[in-house]
Structure 1
Amino acid sequence: MADYLLRTAQKHSKGSFLGKFWRLVLRHYQIKYGFQIYPETQIGAGFYLGHWGSLVINPKTIIGKNCNIAQGVTIAQANRGKHEGVPEIGNEVWIGPNAVIVGNIKIGNNVLIAPNAYVNFNVPSNSVVVGNPGIVSENLNATSCYINNKI
């Protein structure tokens, strides 16, 4: 439902009556179910939220196609340091529960970010990231059998 509400709010201009209405409906469900995804967020087709609850995505984040995000994930802006800014996430990325992705970094295509991983660095395509701090391992089948709603 979150994806439907998000896409519907994105269809209408922010200042129009329908735009205001759908943003209000989206906000209601954000509060009710504990997720924070703004209509300004650029998200590709095939977006999938595995579970409700405690999800925060910065509105300036760019997310590619077929991205799956679990509960407890934070995709945030860094306000200082060498990675000041927001993440850009590629296609076919699976982000596990309670993972944190922060800063002006690029996550490649076909990347699996394990539960509880902390990522504040660029991640090449075809990789798995595990741990805090994150450790990257090359894997050509990183998201095989993990991506739902593939388009």
Structure 2
Amino acid sequence: MGYTVIQKDFYRESGKWLSSFEIWKKCINPNLHFIYILRKAQQYSGKSVLGIFWKLVLRHYQIKYGYQIYPETEIGEGFYLGHWGSLVINPKAKIGKNCNLAQGVTIGQQNRGKLKGFPTIGDEVWIGANAVIVGGITIGNNVLIAPNSYVNFDVPTNSVVLGNPGTITPTERATEAYINNKV
């Protein structure tokens, strides 16, 4: 069976494949509710009436929940918001599959210098609370960015980043037991 992106996102939370009705019931959780609305806004983006409707609904919930994530942002399936709280993602950033973001995370642009641009984040990346990722950098696959870390440099696959300024520690087990129910 081909699962929808929304089903894959919700699978990350429960480890179960849910029907549309079961997904709607889980929308009492603010994180899941926001992901549902974000994915609908992405699905219907464009100039259709449904696209405009979902974009307006998304704007309401961006303000209500404090998530600044836009439908233009490329986000892979299996997206997971760990906690409710302020979150800022530049619309030109790219995020891979099975990524977890905690509260207070900023993924933003850098406006000058050699790393001018927007981050590209690989698959299976766990980003801890209040981490800041900025610039035209690339974060590899299987990377853990510890809480309160500042990352304005490329991070290779299979790494842990810790601190401000961030330091990289290579490890094959970077996100083991941090990213569950992968799709």
- What is the TM-score with the length of structure 2 in the denominator? 0.81
Bigger Cα Rg: 2
Is residue 19 from structure 1 mapped to residue 51 from structure 2 by the alignment? yes
Deviates more, 1:13-22 or 1:91-100: 13-22
- CA distances 1:67-95 after superposition (whole Å, capped 9, x unpaired): 00000000000000110000000000000
Is residue 125 from structure 1 mapped to residue 157 from structure 2 by the alignment? yes
Is residue 87 from structure 1 mapped to residue 119 from structure 2 by the alignment? yes
Aligned-residue CA RMSD (Å): 0.7
User: Greater helix percent: which structure?
Assistant: 2
**Which residue is equivalent to 2:88?**
56
Q: Say whether the 8 Å CA contact 1:83–1:103 is kept in structure 2.
A: yes
**Which residue is equivalent to 1:4?**
36
- CA distances 1:25-64 after superposition (whole Å, capped 9, x unpaired): 1111110010110000000011000011110000001100
User: Greater strand percent: which structure?
Assistant: 1
> Given the alignment, which residue of 66, 73, 90 partners 2:105?
73
Percent sequence identity over aligned pairs: 72
Please, which runs of 5 or more residues in structure 1 have no aligned partner? Answer: none
**Which residue is equivalent to 2:64?**
32
SS at match of 1:14: coil
> Given the alignment, which residue of 70, 79, 82 partners 1:47?
79
Taking the aligned partners of 2:93 and 2:45, their CA distance within structure 1 comes to 19
Query: Which runs of 4 or more aligned residues in structure 1 lie more than 2 Å from their structure 2 counterparts after TM superposition?
Result: none
Is residue 101 from structure 1 mapped to residue 158 from structure 2 by the alignment? no
Equivalent pairs, count: 151
**Which residue is equivalent to 1:139?**
171
Q: In structure 2, do the counterparts of structure 1 residues 72 and 34 end up closer, same or farther at CA, with 3 Å as the change threshold?
A: same
Deviation at 1:149, TM superposition (A): 4.1
